[in-house]
Amino acid sequence: MRILVGNDDGIDAVGIAALADAARRLSDDVWVVAPDGNRSAAGHGISLRRPVTLARAGERRFACSGTPADCVIAAMAFLFEGDRRPDLVLSGINEGPNVAEDVAYSGTMAVAREAVFWGIPAISLSRPKGLGLHSPAQGDWLAGLIDSFWRRREAWSADGHWLNLNLPAQVPAPLREARIGRDKIARSVRVLERGSDGARLEILSAREGSSAHGDENHHLSEGFVAVTNVAWHGAVPLPPGLLPAKA
């Protein structure tokens, strides 16, 4: 099995090292392509009007100057050109949860979403800030968790879906299916400079920690791994009567 690992925290982040280590417990064909610096909350931007660089950082390990989505594109269109593409893409482990509206903002989500665009099953993973996953037991648990989902990929990866896993503060932990809640980041700014013609602002990443029964934050607070099956296409049927009647 060929596995591609990416993230948005950067190639030197602690989380991607733990995720790549877990992947290597499942396969000897693991590739890491990640941003050369932190690209948190980069969303799904791609670099259409400026070149990106891909620099070797080790065996099957590359740093990319672009966005998280650029990393996947560079891997698919360049590194694996004329070769077998990955069977699975893993994204993370993000430092901090990816819940609620983060599905739209997060670069971690963008890696998984971009993989789905290429028709490849993907799993994104996030953890609370400060949670380490370096003990052998935790690494074995994480590898087993990924392997269990990989073996049942037909049940969740069809039609543009990927799995989003939020890990609780203590792992190993049991799993619960979660619905996407509402807990928006960046509701406030800090004024750095103010002038007559405008201002220089810092957008703050803090969130309120809102939670409702059954959403990701609710399950995380109970100590569960919150699992969400996410789709890149969010369209639902239009309500009756919204469009004009046919002539």
Q: Would you state the pLDDT for residue 243? A: 72
Burial category of 85 from C-beta neighbours within 10 Å (exposed 0-12, middle 13-18, buried 19 and up) = middle
Summarised one tens digit per residue, pLDDT across range 183-235 is: 998 889 999 999 999 999 989 888 888 999 999 999 999 999 999 999 988 76
Summarised one tens digit per residue, pLDDT across range 157-187 is: 988 899 999 999 999 999 999 999 999 988 8
Peptide bond before residue 93 is cis, with ω within 30 degrees of 0: yes
Spatial CB neighbours of 146, under 8 Å, sequence gap ≥ 6: 22, 23, 26, 90, 123
**37 close to 67: Cβ distance less than 8 angstroms:** no
The domains of the chain are located at 2-180+212-231
Spatial CB neighbours of 242, under 8 Å, sequence gap ≥ 6: none
pTM over 0.85: yes
CATH code for the structural domain at 2-180+212-231: 3.40.1210.10
Q: Give the separation between CA 92 and CA 14, rounded to whole angstroms.
A: 10
43-24-76-106 Cα dihedral, nearest 10 degrees: 0
Summarised one tens digit per residue, pLDDT across range 43-68 is: 999 999 999 999 999 999 999 999 99
Q: Give the separation between CA 2 and CA 4, rounded to whole angstroms.
A: 7
